[in-house]
Amino acid sequence: MQTVLGANGQIAEVLTDYLYENITDEIRLVSRNPVRRHDTDQLLAADLTDPDAASRAVQGSDIAYLTVGLPMDSTRWERQFPAIMANTIAACREHGTKLVFFDNTYMYPRTSTPQTEDAEFRPAGRKSVVRATIATMLLDEMRTGAVDAVICRAPEFYGPGKTKSLTNSAVFDRIRQGRRAMIPVSAHTRRSLIWTPDAARAMGLIGNTPDAYGQTWHLPVDPARPSYADMISVAREITGHRIRHATIPAVAFTIGSLFDKSAKEVSELIPRYGADNIFDSTKFAARFPDFPITPYRQGIGEILDGRP
């Protein structure tokens, strides 16, 4: 049995399909309102902030994948994410279940220094502090051997379907709708974006590779790392249309945060767009050389075509 915790998101859905097609048809999907993707999926409604519910969710599982996402709400993150991580760790210890954690890079320094799996945590802002806290919780358990776990870390998403990110919503979705692309801070800093289906499939691969455990892995990205200006040039070539865009300075997000709660939540992340983002996934590429990584041109084309 393999269990996906937080089963309704884009990563979880592609991960579930990968497991079903390549690993097993014994899959349990856990969320507040899980939805079956295959006839054999087992559904379990659970609130993972409840220790007993987390234990029931993990019970009988060989591997559990923690892919839970929460809305961009710092207070909710501070209240729920540490509880979810603590309860999941406890449940995996109790039932002898391996744990695969889908992580992000919020806790990394906001600099152009290449980010490897050994990068220090230097959180700045409430959400990044939460992400550093829960990653450290799991790393401490891994170091003591209390739980057999692996961390799969990804940079900002771009992708099809339910993919949610600032780049998707402000740039690619607007281009697809014929609207002006809104570029955060700079059109010329280099970006590392991960294609969400690649991230999910790579997570499933790592979770079913026994010698990958006890480590942190950066999930695979196209190493080209284009700027937003480069991406817009690609979109122009694909569509054959002139792409209008505007660069939104950091101060605009700061001012917006004074009047809008959603803008306030996003503003914490904006300084990251002022420097090159060099997310290094060479460790994964060396260990899994046959894994197909989606090139940016292909990914951008699929988004603009509106493929699911």
Q: Residue 18: its pLDDT value, please?
A: 97
- Please report which helix (H) or strand (E) contains residue 183, including its range: strand 181-184
State which residues of the chain have pLDDT below 70.
Answer: 250, 253-263, 306-308
* pLDDT tens column, 208-250: 999 999 999 999 999 999 999 999 999 999 988 899 999 987 6
Q: Residue 307: its pLDDT value, please?
A: 55
What is the DSSP annotation of 16-83? Answer: HHHHHHHT-S-EEEEESS---SSTT-EEEE--TTSHHHHHHHHTT-SEEEE-----S-HHHHHHHHHH
Which pTM was predicted?
0.94
- Rounded to whole angstroms, the Cα distance separating 213 from 216 reads 8
